[in-house]
Every structure is written in structure tokens, then in C-alpha cells.
């Protein structure tokens, strides 16, 4: 459990988002564009970490996922689908998991992408416009 609740910080690049996990708040944030050469290589460690984390996290702990993904290519979309399915599974098993996606109001594709993920999931999934500045 100890190494699972370590903070995570992966700095953004042009084709990969910033990833932050704050263990004190049980808050995972992913922000930025995602179209790396190999999306699975980038997301696999995060997906594996999430499996471990969700197994160990207490049922009463509130786990929050904050997303801002203006553009994700198709392979990254598959990775996010896998991530969200893990979270949904944990939610259905009684864990308190919630997703909040802040989208750019001028970016219809981002809103559509968020809505399409939400359609197939049962966990709380808020889609809110990003507040200006």
C-alpha cells in the first residue's frame, strides 16, 4: 500500500498530458493533449498502478478524477476507456469514485468525447465547462 499512495507527477509533453496524483486528497488529475507514438506504452504503468490503488483504497475514501483532455487520438481514447472502466468497476463494488471533466467551451469534440465516455459508465461523471481564466 505504501508505494501505491506515493504522489505521482508526470510532466506534460507536446503529445502526452500532465498526470498528477495527490495521495492526501486521493485526487488524480490528467490534463493535456494525448497522441503519443505508442499510447499503450505511456498509459500502461498508470493502468497497472490504478489496479493496485483501487484494490487497496478504503470504501469510505472519496477518490476524485479530474480530466481536461482537449484532444486524444484513437489509441489514447482506448487507454482512457480502460482506465474509466476500472474506475467504474470499483464504483460498482462500492468504492466512492467520481470523475469530473472540464472541457473547453469552444471545443465540441472534447465535449462529445466526454459525453461518449459517460454514456457507458455508471459512476458519477460531471462534465463542466472550464471556467475562463
Name the site residues for other proteins (rule: CB under 8 A). 14-15, 35-37, 40, 70-71, 73-75, 77-79, 81-82, 104, 106-110, 116, 120
Nearest-approach distance from CB 70 to other proteins, in angstroms: 7
Q: Which helix (H) or strand (E) holds 24?
A: none
Q: Which of 30, 28, 95 is nearest to 58 (CA)?
A: 95
When the beta carbons of 64 and 71 are compared against other proteins, the nearer one is: 71
Cβ-Cβ contacts under 8 Å for 17 (sequence gap 6 or more): 30, 31, 32, 33, 34, 69
When the beta carbons of 57 and 79 are compared against other proteins, the nearer one is: 79
When the beta carbons of 5 and 40 are compared against other proteins, the nearer one is: 40
63, 93 contact by CB (below 8 A): no
Helix, strand, coil percentages (3-state) for the chain, rounded to 5, are: 35, 25, 35
- For the chain, what's the residue count? 133
Nearest-approach distance from CB 74 to other proteins, in angstroms: 5
When the beta carbons of 91 and 103 are compared against other proteins, the nearer one is: 103
When the beta carbons of 51 and 106 are compared against other proteins, the nearer one is: 106
Nearest-approach distance from CB 81 to other proteins, in angstroms: 6
Angle between helices 108-119 and 74-92 (to 10 degrees): 40
Amino acid at each position: 500500500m505504501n508505494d501505491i499512495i506515493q504522489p505521482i507527477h508526470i510532466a506534460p509533453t507536446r503529445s502526452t498530458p500532465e498526470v498528477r496524483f495527490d495521495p492526501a486528497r486521493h485526487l488524480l488529475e490528467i490534463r493535456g493533449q494525448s497522441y503519443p507514438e505508442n499510447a499503450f506504452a505511456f498509459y500502461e504503468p498508470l493502468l497497472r498502478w490504478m489496479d493496485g490503488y483501487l484494490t487497496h483504497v478504503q470504501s469510505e475514501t472519496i477518490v476524485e478524477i479530474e480530466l481536461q483532455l482537449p484532444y486524444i487520438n484513437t489509441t489514447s481514447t482506448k487507454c482512457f476507456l480502460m482506465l474509466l472502466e476500472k474506475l467504474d468497476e470499483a464504483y460498482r463494488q462500492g468504492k466512492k469514485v467520481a470523475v469530473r471533466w472540464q472541457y473547453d467551451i469552444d471545443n465540441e469534440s472534447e465535449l462529445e468525447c466526454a459525453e461518449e465516455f459517460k454514456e457507458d459508465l455508471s459512476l458519477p461523471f460531471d462534465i463542466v465547462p472550464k471556467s475562463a481564466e
